[in-house]
């Protein structure tokens, strides 16, 4: 089902803008509308996304529920900012190749460090001990390697949505919002167990698909 058919339309004054892809893009669009025609650039938002994402990872690494809860809140903000920089670039006609790569690199850093932070925090607070840190590192490294595949797809003129056959109206990055939900329910341990299986599995899938695309 096409999610874009369900999203609430923007005001009439913005109807000339291209439709938002997902609900998170709609929220991000509302965030950036006041920033159009101001001194704020997409790179400013990308930098803020990087800072808030690293702060979330640091709080996850504290290993205490209060900081885990705060890390979840901060990660939601960071993920919305990841949507907002692209929305500002598109709506404000501020797209640039350099900004695109800066966004991808910051995404990789944040998503890798989130899992490392989760593993570090659980190493001190769960029965897994140091195994949790190893699992966080495996998950994070796998995520980083997936981004390297994504980088290669972009260099070749393709896009992950095409290579990985995303359904219309779906963005794989939106699944990252579940990290905050698991954090708020003090359930990062099962999340990490799932991640250490799913991240390497998706890496192998991404490598297989990129190899097919290259033929």
Q: How far from the centroid of its chain's Cα atoms is residue 167's Cα?
A: 18
Closest CA to 1 of 200, 140, 170: 170
CATH topology of domain 20-214: 1.20.120
Q: Helix 130-155 vs helix 97-125: angle between axes, to the nearest 10 degrees?
A: 170
Q: How far is CA 117 from CA 57, 128, 129, 171, in A?
A: 5, 15, 14, 24
Please say whether the dihedral angle defined by the alpha carbons of residues 55, 60, 65 and 71, taken in this order, is positive or negative.
Answer: positive
Q: Write the pLDDT tens digit of every residue in 2-28.
A: 444 444 444 444 445 667 677 787 888
Q: Write the pLDDT tens digit of every residue in 110-127.
A: 999 999 999 999 998 888
Rounded to whole angstroms, the Cα distance separating 31 from 4 reads 18
The contacts of residue 90 (CB under 8 Å, 6+ apart) are 17, 18
Question: What is the predicted pLDDT for the residue at 6?
Answer: 45
Query: Under a CB-based contact definition with an 8 Å cutoff, are residues 50 and 112 in contact?
Result: no
Mean of per-residue pLDDT scores for the chain: 86
Match 């803008």 to its residue by tokens: 17
Q: Write the pLDDT tens digit of every residue in 79-109.
A: 999 999 999 998 999 989 899 999 999 999 9
Match 């900012």 to its residue by tokens: 81
Q: Write the pLDDT tens digit of every residue in 30-67.
A: 999 999 999 999 999 999 999 999 999 999 999 999 99
């Amino acid at each position: 089902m096409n999610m874009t058919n369900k999203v609430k339309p923007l005001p009439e004054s913005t109807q000339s803008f291209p439709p938002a892809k997902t609900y998170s893009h709609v929220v991000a669009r509302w965030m950036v509308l006041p920033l159009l025609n101001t001194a704020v650039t997409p790179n400013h938002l990308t930098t803020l996304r990087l800072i808030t994402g690293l702060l979330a990872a640091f709080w996850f690494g504290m290993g205490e529920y209060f900081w885990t809860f705060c890390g979840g809140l901060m990660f939601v903000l960071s993920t919305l900012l990841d949507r907002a920089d692209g929305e500002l670039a598109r709506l404000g006609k501020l797209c640039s190749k350099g900004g695109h790569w800066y966004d991808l690199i910051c995404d990789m850093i944040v998503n890798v460090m989130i899992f490392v932070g989760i593993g570090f925090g659980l190493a001190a607070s769960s029965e897994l001990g140091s195994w949790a840190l190893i699992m966080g590192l495996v998950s994070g490294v796998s995520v980083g390697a997936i981004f390297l595949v994504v980088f290669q797809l972009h260099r070749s003129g393709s896009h992950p949505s095409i290579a990985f056959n995303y359904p219309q109206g779906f963005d794989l990055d939106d699944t990252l919002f579940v990290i905050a939900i698991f954090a708020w329910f003090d359930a990062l341990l099962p999340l990490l167990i799932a991640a250490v299986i799913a991240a390497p599995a998706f890496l192998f899938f991404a490598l297989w698909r990129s190899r097919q695309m290259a033929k």
